[in-house]
Amino acid sequence: MNSFIKYLLLIPILIIGCKTSEIDDKRINQSINSMNMNIYSSEGIKLFSIKSPYSNYEKEKNILSLKKTTIKLFKDNEKEYIITSDNSKLTKNNKLIELNGNVLVKTSIKQNDELYSNSFTWNIENSEFILIGNVKFKNNSITLTSNKAILNKANNIIEFFYPVKYKVNNNDKKLYEVNSQNAYYNIDTKSVSFRSKGERVRTKIYF
């Protein structure tokens, strides 16, 4: 009987302990539905907007995690790039963006240009986007694939790293293919150049 009374007295302590832990967790982590946030520079210039149907903020680590993310980048208050992904993280006081899963980068400069990858990293203090894993650039004319690429939004040039494959898209099944160590695509001029260190650029033509 005494042991039963002791057990009853222990139950409220357990309940209080659970509630306290729940409250602490809510203070540390905050869920946000339908988030739409704008990020500005110290001069008040709009850098980008970020939108997500669901996000979670870890106050202790200062990390904002988002699902089904859409990011719009601006230049001179004009929309320049639209980036979407399955998941993303905003860290280092909103200065580092990391996206993962079905990353798609579209440019407003050339509407048909699309850049895909598994992951995407951007430190907003510099102008380079780093894309890694199953990187593919595609438009109406060409397709470029590699394991890694860097998009420099200062000059709108995408550098593709070894191994690089390039082909001309053609409906009549005639393909022009190039294998190279590095390739550079200029978004503004829609031109491609190839470079290889120590190896010749290999070209294949299919008829």
Which fold is adopted by the domain 30-205? lipopolysaccharide transport protein A fold (2.60.450)
In this structure, are residues 50 and 39 in contact, taking their beta carbons and an 8 Å threshold? yes
At 31 the pLDDT is 79
pTM: 0.76
| Tokens coding 184 | 């550079």
On the 0-12 / 13-18 / 19+ scale of CB atoms within 10 A, 80 is middle
At 9 the pLDDT is 41
Is residue 175 helix, strand or coil?
A: coil
Residues 6+ apart with CB under 8 A from 24: none
| Tokens coding 205 | 């033509």
Residues facing residue 48 across a β-bridge: 39, 73
Residues 6+ apart with CB under 8 A from 18: none
At 60 the pLDDT is 81
| Tokens coding 201 | 């650029």
Report which DSSP code applies to 102: E
At 172 the pLDDT is 57
In this structure, are residues 66 and 52 in contact, taking their beta carbons and an 8 Å threshold? yes
Every domain of the chain and the residues it spans: 30-205
Please list the pLDDT of the chain residue by residue as tens digits (207 residues): 444 344 334 444 434 444 444 444 555 667 778 888 888 888 888 888 999 999 888 888 888 899 999 999 888 888 888 999 999 998 888 788 999 999 999 987 767 889 999 999 998 888 899 999 999 999 888 899 999 999 998 888 999 998 888 888 775 555 566 666 788 898 888 888 887 665 555 544 332
Residues facing residue 168 across a β-bridge: 142
In this structure, the number of other CB atoms found within 10 A of the CB of residue 191 comes to: 10
